[in-house]
Amino acid sequence: MEIAEFVRSLDREGGLLAEAAEEAGADAKVPTCPKWQVRDLLRHTGMVHRWATAFVAEGHTSYHPDGGLPELDGAELLTWFRDGHRRLVDALAAAPPDVECWSFLPAPSPLAFWARRQAHETTVHRVDAESARGGTPTTIPADFAVDGVDELLLGFHARSRSRVRTDEPRVLRVRASDSDAVWSVRLSAEPPVAERGEVADADCELAGTAAQLYLALWNRGPFPDVTGDSSVATLWREKSAVTWS
């Protein structure tokens, strides 16, 4: 996907998140994040948007701390969220392709990293907001979901921070039924090593649409179809959470 496509996705998903949050109300519980209410979701995502904007708009070339969570609530919190989301979209849309700033996953450029990361960050949390509101969730396009699985498996869980580890080496296969995307994830006592394709015999396979896999691997939905050793899927469920720190 191109940078402009990610920016358009970010724009759309942030709007949907705000709409769902407003309809649910700040007090509503978030089923996909059991410890949160909608106000926690808005505070967190709004903080992340402002944090990301600072790198792109201010050109920080090393890690820069976030600004913390606001004390705002209700209508003021929703306005604060929408303002921060708009600033992020505008900053990414206006940034030169060769902007130099800090990032934390491999990408063709810092701008490509931030556009992609914030599009997926916001989509996952839009799903959270819609879970609080209830009703039919908004569809996630297959190509976007495939990219999100790529980012999660080949990016986030390639880092030393990943807790998805096992003393007995295992291979997890992830297969999208609505595209030709297949991933093989080697699990061991070291960080997972993921590759596109069927590059090793699998102990367990997760199969479903790209959107189903995207949500399941981000622990926002059940695994659609599990074959083989289900303990590998359980390991992922128990150890794969990506947390803010």
Q: What is the mean pLDDT of residues 197-226?
A: 96
- pLDDT bin (cut points 50, 70, 90) of residue 120 is very high
pLDDT surpassing 70 at residue 80? yes
pLDDT surpassing 80 at residue 65? yes
pLDDT of residue 43: 98
pLDDT of residue 197: 96
3-state secondary structure the chain: CCHHHHHHHHHHHHHHHHHHHHHHCCCCECCCCCCCEHHHHHHHHHHHHHHHHHHHHHCCCCCCCCCCCCCCCHHHHHHHHHHHHHHHHHHHHHCCCCCCCCCCCCCCCHHHHHHHHHHHHHHHHHHHHHHHHCCCCCCCCHHHHHHHHHHHHHHHHHCCCCCCCCCCCEEEEEEECCCCCEEEEEECCCCCEEEECCCCCCCEEEEECHHHHHHHHCCCCCCCEEEECHHHHHHHHHHCCCCCC
pLDDT of residue 182: 98
Q: Tokens in use for 51?
A: 């944090």
pLDDT of residue 245: 64
pLDDT surpassing 90 at residue 232? yes
Give percent of the chain above pLDDT 90: 97
How far apart, in whole angstroms, are the C-alpha atoms of residue 207 and residue 176?
6
pLDDT of residue 243: 85
Q: What is the mean pLDDT of residues 136-151?
A: 97
- pLDDT bin (cut points 50, 70, 90) of residue 18 is very high
pLDDT of residue 244: 80
pLDDT surpassing 80 at residue 26? yes
**156 within 8 A of 120, measured Cβ to Cβ:** no
Over the Cα atoms of the chain, what is R_g? 18
pLDDT of residue 200: 84
Average pLDDT of the chain?
97
